[in-house]
Each structure stands twice: as C-alpha cells, then as structure tokens.
A and B are shown apart, each in its own frame.
Chain A
C-alpha cells in the first residue's frame, strides 16, 4: 500500500464531499436534529425535579434551590416525599436525617435516603450532585452513607426484574439517550449514504478507471475512502457530543466505541459501494440499507431475552447494536463494561475490510 496516494485520495474526497450539497446534508442532518431536540427538550434535559424532606435546617436546601438545573420541592414529612413522587411531580426524592449538616461537619457518616421513581440513574445523578454540594459547603470530602431505593414496594422491583428484564435505555439518562441516538444516526447515515456515494460516483463517472491506471491500486483507494468516511463519522459524532454535553462519563471509552463503530460502518458503506455500480441504484437502495443498520441500534435498548434467539443473534452482529450499548455505557461512566462491544466491533472491522477489498477487486476479473 502507498500511504501518499491513499491520503491524496482521502484529501480529494474530503474536499469534494464539501462541494456536494447532497453529501453535506447527510453530514449536517444528525447535527441539526440533535440541536433541535436539545432545544425542544431543554427543560427536561437541563433540570432535575427533586422532592426533599429535611427535619432540621440544612444548607443543602438553600444550596439546591439556588441551582438552575434543579427544580426543588421541599415537603414536611418522609411520606410526603413518596406522595409527591407518586403524583409524578418529581423523579427523585431525598430524605435527610435530623441535624444532617452538623453530622457531616463532625464526620459522623449520616445516612441519606434517595428514592427514585423509575430510573436508578436519576438517583445516581442526584447523589453526585448532593455530594458535590456538601463538599462545597463543608469544604472537605463528604462522608455520607447513601441508601438508594425504588418508589415501588420492596420486592416488586426485584420480581419485575426477574420476570421482565429492564430496558438498557433505562440504565442511561435522557441526555445520554439522545446523544447515543444522534451519534448512531450520524454514523449510520454517513456509512450508508455518504461513504458508498464516494465509491459509486467514482465508478459511475469512470474516474476510478483513471485512478487505477496510475500506480494506485485497490488497497490505496480503499484506505483513502476509509480515512475520509471515518473522518466524516467522527466529525458528526464529536459535534453532536460536543453540542449536547456528551464529552462526559468515560470519554476515552466513548471515543474508542465511536471510532471502531465508524470504521465498521464506513466499511459496510464501502461494501455497498463495491457491489453497486451506479448512483441511481445506490439512491434507490440506500434508504433500504439504512433501516436494517439502524434497527439493531434502536433494539439494543430492548432486553435481549424478550426478543428470542432468532432475532437476538443477528441483532448482535450489526455494529450499531454495539455502538449504542458501548456509547450508552461509556457516557454513563461504565466504560469498563464496553470491552466486549469494542472487541466485537474490532473483529467486524477486520472481516469487513477483507470483504470490501474482494468486492472492489472483482471488477477486474
């Protein structure tokens, strides 16, 4: 392989895509959607409704009420906390013990009770927020025992979990859910439309013939197209993540998942491009290809046990499944759980690379 020629092809394609209005729309659409939804759901995404009971005076009450990102309801009994949660006025309840502030100052490990309505991730977010605030107020690392429980009566949640597994999307917060969705959309659209266009247009306009009579070979062309496809996928993903506070959680794992998924979906795009010879056919089939690529990503939120083996196995072959799970977990700070997703994506990249090279070389037979 000649890296110089591969990079020349990548540079040419990168700039040429910017001059192509159709391709530009593909790149910008997921970014536009993420901005639009971010605006429409700004209240839901930016504020968390907390109902709090404090038997004594605590500076936590005034601290939380001053935060723009918190909508705080203060009630006069622990029962009122549950009543408020049942009425769906808040998503998390906090019950403080008497003399909470003094106990913190004395380093006595007071017990803080957190009650979540639906999503345990909401309780964890609130816990992080409260601990940060205590640290600010007391000026030292807080020593607090946190007891977390669901609003549902004890046993109900476990029974439900045993009989009906919880959706993956309930393990991540709404902000992360939207980021995962738009990143998946961006990478899939780039993979199923932009990337094949880069190759099919070369075949349709016969410019590929002109490239291949120079000292360039198929491998150089393939690497050049992969580089530009991955660059566009990363560009879309990073802009979406940047605009939506997605550079949080385990950032390294998030980027690793996005990168490997970008390579895999770019290679799928090139495989499509290698099998199709003209733009008309690509335009006809591009949308049909996008659906089966996106569907596993959406179904990644559904508990696997509920789908049956006939659907579960093919679902886990498609890279978007691992992109959604891997990125969702990384954004929620559970990066150490994504190694399997990363490994599967890497293996898929190797297999796809070989398949794409075969599909391109078959032209000369």
Chain B
C-alpha cells in the first residue's frame, strides 16, 4: 500500500531523510520510531504530498506521491503532530468545514463525533477543549473521508492515559477494518502493542526494520531477575556464561526464592542500535 524507495530530503546542507526505503502492506500498522529531528515528520510530509522529495520516490496504492497527488489526497487521512484546529470555531464546525472540503455530508460528521465521544461537546469552541478532546477531534477529522491510509504523527503525545488508550483502541479498530496506518511515536510500548512492522530512524536513516518480535529477538538481551534467600535481587543475562554458572550455583545451594524472566523491550533494542535513549 505504501512504498518508499531511497526517499531523500535535503534542506540546504542538512540531510533530513537519507535514502529511506520500506514497504507497508494493506491493513498493516507500520511504526516509524526515532528521536526528535530524526526525520519522521519530514517523511510523512513527503508521503502526504506536502513536501517534494529531493530524490527517490514513494507511492501510495501505486500512485506516485509527487506526480499523482490529486489521486492520493482522497485516500489519505492525516493526524498532524500539532493540534491544528480552528480555535474560534466549534468542534462540529471544524469537522463540517473539512467534510465540505472532502465532499462528505453532515451524517459522517455526526458518526465521527459519536465515535470519538465528543457528540455532547460538539457545539463548544475548540479553545475550551482539553488536549485529549482536541486530539480525538483530530482523529475524527482524519477519518472523515474513510481513508485507505491513515498517517498518525505522534497521536498520543502529551495525552492522559484514558485519552491515549482511546486513540490506541481506535487504531486497532481501523486496522481490523483494513485501514493501513503509518504511525510515528516516541512510545515504544505503544509501537510494540500496535504495530506489525517497525522501523527505527536515526539521523534520517533507517537503522532497523522488522516486526517488533523479530527485533527484540535479534537485538534484545534475555534476562532473568532472581530473588535470593538473603532478600538480595540480581539481574542475570541468560546468554552470559558467567551469569549462567552463578544461577546454577544458587540453585544447587537452594538459595533461589523466585526467578522471573525479562524480555527485551523495543526501547532496549533502540538504545542498543541508536546508542541513546529515545525519550
């Protein structure tokens, strides 16, 4: 559904996105993870036709993002990283305006207000909305045209847990309905829960691309946390021969009270690959 081949964008002398290539299947949630300034938003802007690539090419549903923008626009929805709503207008008026631009009726506006739980606050001005409400409205706006591909740029950043959970639930529902989702996020746990494929982006380059499970297996370190009879706690790496010997000795001496396995997280993998933490 989404195809990028050596996609590159240079701003003056800065290479914001450097020969990025990936393929996203239909109905898949694709996680695009990286630090601030890694090139995530620039990539989204190129894929959605807002910015021309310096070189390389990308397509959505086999339509080139540069030469066939008019064909792409009706099939995409975008939730931006910023809350770009008309503050002096009501929630309903915001959606109605964009519904008119998409050529969809008021019925769809009502459906979406209901879906994101804002039907009873639809007449309120945006300036009195909370962050979570604004974010839900942005999701509703992006879904007005029933997009085949949804781009979500940091959709849960700065949200309370309830609102964030609501947005994750919406993403799952959309995936089940066959919508392809391109998701950028700082939250590794979120990516782990939602994505079928993730790409790690660092300084404009993809440094790893696979399923979350495969990345954790490939780059993660398997650990076990052991509680001994003297109440001391130890974290041992299962793949380390020294730690394996220590564990065997403690077990032989009957000193182990509890032992819990610890899976590697995507964050661990990212830190290992990028050399620094994500947040």
Q: Which residues of A contact B (CB under 8 A)?
A: 4-5, 8-9, 12, 16, 19-20, 205-207, 209-217, 364-365
What's the minimum C-beta distance from A277 to chain B, rounded to whole angstroms?
Answer: 14
A215-B101, A364-B51, A365-B52 given; A16·B88 CB < 8 A = yes
Q: Number of contact residues on B: which range applies?
A: 20 to 34
Shortest distance between the CB of A224 and any CB in chain B (Å): 10
Known: A5-B101, A213-B50, A364-B50. A206 touches B74 (CB 8 A): no
Q: Are A209 and B84 in contact (CB under 8 A)?
A: yes
Question: 15 A-B contacts, Cβ less than 8 Å apart?
Answer: A4-B100, A5-B100, A16-B86, A16-B89, A19-B89, A206-B80, A206-B84, A209-B84, A213-B48, A213-B50, A215-B102, A364-B49, A364-B50, A364-B51, A365-B52
Besides the known contacts A206-B80, A214-B145, 20 further A-B residue pairs in the complex with CB atoms under 8 A apart: A4-B103, A8-B97, A8-B101, A9-B101, A12-B86, A16-B89, A205-B84, A205-B86, A207-B85, A209-B50, A209-B80, A209-B84, A212-B50, A213-B48, A213-B49, A213-B76, A215-B73, A216-B101, A364-B49, A364-B50
Q: Closest CB-CB distance, A2 to chain B, in whole Å?
A: 9
Q: Is B129 an interface residue (CB 8 A)?
A: no
Q: Classify the secondary structure of B's interface with A.
A: loop
CB pair A214 B102 closer than 8 Å = yes
- A213-B73 CB under 8 A given contacts A5-B100, A364-B50: yes
**Contact: B101 with A214, CB < 8 Å?**
yes
Number of A-B pairs, beta carbon distance below 8 Å: 62
Asked whether A210 lies within 8 Å of B78 as measured between CB atoms, the reply is: yes
Q: How far is the CA of A214 from the CA of B73 in the complex (A)?
A: 6
- Is the C-beta of B10 less than 8 angstroms from some C-beta in chain A? no
Which residues does chain B contribute within 8 Å of A214, judged by CB atoms? 73, 98, 101-102, 145
CA distance A5 to B49 in the complex (A): 19
Scoring B80, B100, B141 by chain A CB atoms within 10 A of each residue's CB, the highest score goes to B100
The winner among B50, B85, B97, B141 for most chain A CB atoms within 10 A is B97
Complexed CA–CA distance, A215 and B78 (Å): 13
Query: Contacts of B102 on A, CB cut-off 8 Å?
Result: 214-215
A215–B74 touching, CB < 8 Å: yes
How far, in whole Å, are A213 and B75 apart by their CA atoms in the complex?
10
CA distance A4 to B97 in the complex (A): 11
Does B97 lie within 8 Å of A213, measured CB to CB? no
Asked if B82 is an interface residue, CB under 8 A from chain A, the answer is: yes
Query: Cβ of B82: which chain A residues have Cβ within 8 Å of it?
Result: 206
Nearest-neighbor residue (CB-CB) of A12 within chain B? B97
Check B70 for interface membership: any CB of A closer than 8 A.
yes
Find chain B residues with CB under 8 A from A16 CB: 86, 88-89
List the A side residues contacting B50 at CB < 8 Å.
209, 212-213, 364
Which residues 44-93 in B have Cβ within 8 Å of A in the complex?
48-52, 70, 73-74, 76, 78, 80, 82, 84-89
CB distance from A44 to the nearest CB of B (A): 42
Name the residue of chain B whose CB is nearest to the CB of A5: B101
Q: Decide if A210 touches B80 in the complex (CB within 8 Å).
A: yes
A363 to chain B, nearest CB (A): 8
Distance in Å from the Cβ of A207 to the closest Cβ of chain B? 5
Q: Which residues of A contact B97 (CB under 8 A)?
A: 8, 12
Contact partner of B101 (CB less than 8 A), chosen from A19, A20, A211, A364, is: A211
Residues of B with C-beta under 8 A to A19: 88-89
Q: In the complex, what distance in Å separates the CA atom of A204 from the CA atom of B144?
A: 24
Interface mask (B134-173 → A, CB under 8 Å = 1, otherwise 0): 0000000100010000000000000000000000000000
Task: For residue B90, give the distance in angstroms from its CB to the closest CB of chain A.
Answer: 11
Q: Which residues of B contact A209 (CB under 8 A)?
A: 50, 80, 84
Complex Cα spacing A8 to B98, Å: 9
A22 to chain B, nearest CB (A): 11
Report chain B residues within 8 Å CB of A4: 100, 103
Instruction: Give CA–CA (A207, B86) in the complex, Å.
Output: 7
- Which residues of chain A come closer than 8 Å to B86, judged between CB atoms? 12, 16, 205, 207
A20–B141 Cα distance when bound, in Å, is 23
Contact (A210, B84) CB under 8 Å given A5-B101, A215-B73, A216-B101: yes
A213 partner residues in chain B, CB cutoff 8 A:
48-50, 73, 76, 78
Q: List, in ascending order, chain B residues with CB within 8 A of A364's CB.
A: 49-52
Complex Cα–Cα for A209 and B50 (A): 8
